[in-house]
Amino acid sequence: MPKPFFDYSRILTQIAVEVRPLCDQGRVADYIPMLAAIPKSRFGIAVYTNAGKQYVVGDAEIAFSIQSISKVYGLTLALQAVGESLWERVGREPSGNAFNSLVQLEYEKGIPRNPFINAGALVVADIILSHYSNPKETLLAFVRARANNPYIQVDSAVAQSEKDTGFRNAALANFLKSFKNLDNEVSAVLDFYFYQCAIAMTCIDLAKSFRFLANAGICPWTNEAILTPSLTKRVNAIMLTSGTYDAAGDFVYRVGMPAKSGVGGGIVALIPNVLTTAVWSPGLNEKGNSLAGTMALELLTTKTRMSIF
């Protein structure tokens, strides 16, 4: 794939202007007060090229709740711990249903369809609990190291609030336990899961933290091999087919990049060997992905003519 010179600053600025009207149309997640309080008008985008350049526009330096984007970090840690044996306990097929559905889980006897639906992320959390002695510390240190930012925090009020209202996730965790697909206590798994979702990061942090996935598994700052090239490709494959809830097909169709979204309004996406990007706009579409964020990424691949296809 050719890598022409783009004036990313100009392109990102254009995108911010074009998607601005969409920011008002989405619906901010309101199941916990902290998320509901975020103004819809926020919009930020950051791009990191593999050549080492950074481009940012808008609210790219405001931290927000990364929510499900954290599932990529969890998956990475679990793959580091157990490798491909992870697939004995989680599938890797797109879910074809709403992201927290119990139906398919029952149908498939407690094996979640993929690691990015909530059930799958709970199994991944269970694996992390079983293999790391200080799982929360390990996770936070991992995220800080990948983003090259030691100040990243977990918003404990968000974590607590999710715990207080997360009955559906508690149902999922108990259901998984009934199928013997959780080894640890339900409450411990949920505690870690809510902790993970409550990490607060900026677009800049997020785009930087995914760079190893666009770089054959190597973290650019530390030169560490976070994942093998093969596993790196596979995490990207799962993001592509399952990273954006029940809109993965539409997302691949329109955007054409592996990506992971969260209900906080963030989306991180990448083109292997070329760039990573993170966008944030709190208003969500009916599938739970950032409305303006999805459009921004579609415009990015359209304007640059870069996609994986």
Total site size for a copy of itself, rule CB under 8 A: 52
* Minimum CB distance to a copy of itself smaller for 70 or for 232: 232
Catalytic residue among 56, 70, 71, 209: 71
Q: Of 13-21, 128-136, 144-152, 301-309, which part binds a copy of itself (CB under 8 A)? A: 301-309
Looking at this protein, which amino acid is placed at residue 153?
Q
Q: What is the CA radius of gyration of the chain?
A: 18
To which residue do tokens 């030691």 refer?
A: 150
Task: Work out which of 10, 27, 53, 168 binds a copy of itself, going by CB under 8 A.
Answer: 168
Q: Of 50-58, 61-69, 139-147, 227-235, which part binds a copy of itself (CB under 8 A)? A: 227-235
- Cβ within 8 Å of residue 254, ≥6 positions away: 294, 298
Q: Is position 217 an interface residue for a copy of itself (rule: CB under 8 A)?
A: no
Q: Interface residues for a copy of itself in 269-288 (CB under 8 A)?
A: 272-273
* Minimum CB distance to a copy of itself smaller for 56 or for 235: 235
Neighbouring CB atoms inside 10 A of 156's CB total: 11
Task: Work out which of 40, 92, 131, 136 binds a copy of itself, going by CB under 8 A.
Answer: 92
261: phi > 0 → left, psi -120 to 50 → alpha, else beta; which? Answer: beta
Is 123 among the catalytic positions? no
Q: What is the DSSP letter of 277?
A: E
Q: How far is the CB of 118 from a copy of itself (least distance, A)?
A: 12
Catalytic residue among 193, 209, 252, 260: 193
**What's the rounded Cα separation, in Å, for the pair 149 and 128?**
23
**What's the rounded Cα separation, in Å, for the pair 161 and 153?**
16
* Minimum CB distance to a copy of itself smaller for 101 or for 261: 101
Q: Report the largest interatomic distance among the alpha carbons of the chain, rounded to a whole angstrom.
A: 54
Catalytic residue among 245, 252, 261, 290: 245
**What's the rounded Cα separation, in Å, for the pair 44 and 222?**
26
CA distances from 295 to 28, 157, 183 (A): 16, 31, 40
Task: Work out which of 13, 14, 80, 97 binds a copy of itself, going by CB under 8 A.
Answer: 97
Q: Is position 303 an interface residue for a copy of itself (rule: CB under 8 A)?
A: no
Q: Is position 222 an interface residue for a copy of itself (rule: CB under 8 A)?
A: no
Q: How far is the CB of 37 from a copy of itself (least distance, A)?
A: 22
* Minimum CB distance to a copy of itself smaller for 85 or for 174: 174
| Binding string, residues 103-132; x marks residues near a copy of itself by CB under 8 A | xx-xx-----xx------------------
Q: Interface residues for a copy of itself in 177-206 (CB under 8 A)?
A: 177-178, 186
CA distances from 301 to 39, 146, 214, 269 (A): 27, 25, 16, 11
β-strand partners of 65: 200
CA distances from 148 to 82, 90, 97, 206, 253 (A): 25, 30, 36, 10, 32
* Minimum CB distance to a copy of itself smaller for 48 or for 175: 175
Burial class (CB in 10 A: 0-12, 13-18, 19+), 137: exposed
**What's the rounded Cα separation, in Å, for the pair 216 and 172?**
34
Q: Which residues are catalytic?
A: 68, 71, 193, 245, 263
Question: What residues line the site for a copy of itself (CB under 8 A)?
Answer: 1, 91-97, 101-104, 106-107, 113-114, 167-168, 170-175, 177-178, 186, 230, 232-234, 236-238, 240-242, 246-250, 252-253, 256, 258, 272-273, 302, 307-309
